Amino acid sequence: MPLEAPARIVSELTSRGYNAEREAVTKLASAENPRAALQRVVDELPEDALVVRTDHVDAALSRADATADSPGGSTGPDADSAPGSRTDPSVSTGDAVPDPTAADGDTPVETKGGGAADRSVDPELRSLEIVGDMTGQSTGTGEYEDFVAVFRDRLERLGSKLRGRVNHRPASAIQDMPGGSDVAMVGLVNDIRSTASGHWLIELEDATGTFPWLVMKDREYVDLVDELLCDEVLAMEGTLADDSGIAFVDSMYFPDIPRTHEPSTADRHVQAALISDVHVGSDEFMEGAWNRFADWLHTEQAQHVEYLLLAGDMVEGVGVYPDQDEELEIVDIYEQYESFSEHLKKIPGDIEIVMIPGNHDAVRLAEPQPGFDEELREIMSAHDPQIVSNPSTVTLEGVSVLMYHGVSLDEVIAELPEEKASYDDPHKAMYQLLKKRHVAPQFGGHTRLAPEEQDYLVMEEVPDIFHTGHVHKLGFGKYHNVLAINSGCWQAQTDFQKSVNIDPDAGYAPIVDLDTLDVTVQKFS
Residues that bind ligand D5M (CB under 6 A): 277, 313, 321, 359-360, 410, 470-472, 496-497, 502
CB of 361 to ligand D5M, least distance (A): 10
DSSP state at residue 124: G
Residue number, 282 or 301, with CB nearest to Fe ion? 282
Q: 117: Cβ–Cβ under 8 A, 6 or more apart, which residues?
A: 94, 95
Residue number, 210 or 497, with CB nearest to ligand D5M? 497
CB of 274 to Fe ion, least distance (A): 15
Residue 216 touches which of Fe ion, Zn ion, ligand D5M, none (Cβ within 5-8 Å per kind): none
- CA–CA dist 427, 408 (Å, integer): 13
In degrees and rounded to multiples of 5, residue 295 shows phi and psi of -60, -45
Long-range contacts of 245-249 (CB under 8 A, 24+ apart): 245/175, 245/212, 246/212, 246/213, 246/214, 247/174, 247/183, 247/185, 247/211, 247/212, 247/213, 247/214, 248/213, 248/214, 248/216, 249/202, 249/213, 249/214, 249/215, 249/216, 249/219, 249/221
Amino acid symbol at 335: E
CB of 362 to ligand D5M, least distance (A): 14
Of 512, 480, 514, 507, the residue nearest 493 (C-alpha): 507
- Find the binder of Zn ion among 313, 316, 352, 505 (CB under 5 A): 313
Q: Is 313 in the site for Fe ion (CB under 5 A)?
A: yes
- Find the binder of Zn ion among 416, 470, 510, 514 (CB under 5 A): 470
Phi-psi region of 207 (alpha: psi -120 to 50; beta: other; left: phi over 0): alpha
Q: 357: Cβ–Cβ under 8 A, 6 or more apart, which residues?
A: 312, 314, 363, 369, 370, 371, 372, 389, 390, 405
Residue 496 touches which of Fe ion, Zn ion, ligand D5M, none (Cβ within 5-8 Å per kind): ligand D5M
- 205 with 443: CB under 8 angstroms? no
* 411 C-beta neighbours (distance < 10 Å), count: 18
- 37 with 58: CB under 8 angstroms? no
- Find the binder of Fe ion among 21, 231, 237, 277 (CB under 5 A): 277
Residue number, 377 or 446, with CB nearest to Zn ion? 446
Residue 138 touches which of Fe ion, ligand D5M, Zn ion, none (Cβ within 5-8 Å per kind): none
Residue number, 410 or 515, with CB nearest to ligand D5M? 410
CB of 9 to ligand D5M, least distance (A): 33
- Site track for Zn ion across 325-364, x = CB under 5 A: ---------------------------------xx-----
Residue number, 213 or 340, with CB nearest to Fe ion? 340
Residue number, 206 or 277, with CB nearest to ligand D5M? 277
CB of 500 to ligand D5M, least distance (A): 7
Element of type H or E holding 237:
strand 233-240
Alpha helices in 120-264 (DSSP H): 144-159, 171-174
Residue number with the shortest CB distance to Zn ion? 470
- CA–CA dist 376, 472 (Å, integer): 24
Residue number, 277 or 455, with CB nearest to ligand D5M? 277
Largest CA distance in the chain: 106
Residue number, 53 or 470, with CB nearest to Fe ion? 470
Residue number, 256 or 313, with CB nearest to ligand D5M? 313
CB of 498 to ligand D5M, least distance (A): 11
Please state whether the peptide bond connecting residue 212 to the residue before it is cis, i.e. omega within 30 degrees of 0: no
Residue 102 touches which of Fe ion, ligand D5M, Zn ion, none (Cβ within 5-8 Å per kind): none
CB of 177 to ligand D5M, least distance (A): 45
From 72-80, 90-98, 218-226, 272-280, span contacting Fe ion (CB under 5 A):
272-280
Q: How far is CA 93 from the centre of its chain?
A: 37
Residue number with the shortest CB distance to ligand D5M? 321
Residue number, 301 or 487, with CB nearest to ligand D5M? 487
Residue number, 303 or 486, with CB nearest to Zn ion? 486
Sign of CA dihedral 351, 352, 357, 362: positive
CB of 114 to Zn ion, least distance (A): 39
Residue 321 touches which of Zn ion, ligand D5M, Fe ion, none (Cβ within 5-8 Å per kind): ligand D5M
Count of chain residues binding Fe ion (CB under 5 A): 2
Q: Give the strand order in the sheet containing 519-523.
A: 386-387, 352-356, 305-311, 271-275, 508-513, 519-523
Residue 275 touches which of Fe ion, ligand D5M, Zn ion, none (Cβ within 5-8 Å per kind): none
- What is the separation, in whole angstroms, between the first and last Cα of the chain? 31
Of 190, 163, 15, 150, the residue nearest 453 (C-alpha): 150
Residue 484 touches which of Zn ion, ligand D5M, Fe ion, none (Cβ within 5-8 Å per kind): none
- CA–CA dist 352, 361 (Å, integer): 21
Residue number, 208 or 497, with CB nearest to ligand D5M? 497
Residue 44 touches which of ligand D5M, Zn ion, Fe ion, none (Cβ within 5-8 Å per kind): none
Residues in contact with Zn ion by CB under 5 A are 313, 358-359, 470
Residues in contact with Fe ion by CB under 5 A are 277, 313
